Amino acid sequence: MSNAGPVSSLSLRFQTAAPVRSPRTSIVLAGLARQRRLERRRRRFKRQRRRQA
């Protein structure tokens, strides 16, 4: 139970996206967001192609 403290605080920081001090985490979060956006766009594009064909 001693390792429950830091983990919960870390997850909390990620959820709130509050002032993240370390640049690495912000870069990772930005990369994840970009990936998600690209996936969504690709899916939409595929759907449109199918409709046109």
For residues 47 and 50, give the distance between their C-alpha atoms in angstroms, rounded to a whole number. Answer: 5
Q: State residue 47's pLDDT score.
A: 84
Nearest 5°: the CA angle 12, 16, 19 is 100
pLDDT, mean of residues 8-31: 67
Q: Domain segments of the chain: what residues? A: 4-52
Q: Decide: pTM greater than 0.95.
A: no
Instruction: Report the pLDDT value the prediction gives residue 37, as an integer from 0 to 100.
Output: 92
What does the pLDDT look like over 21-53, one tens digit per residue? 677 888 888 889 999 999 999 998 888 888 876
Of 50 and 5, more confident = 50
- Confidence at residue 19, expressed as pLDDT on a 0 to 100 scale: 58
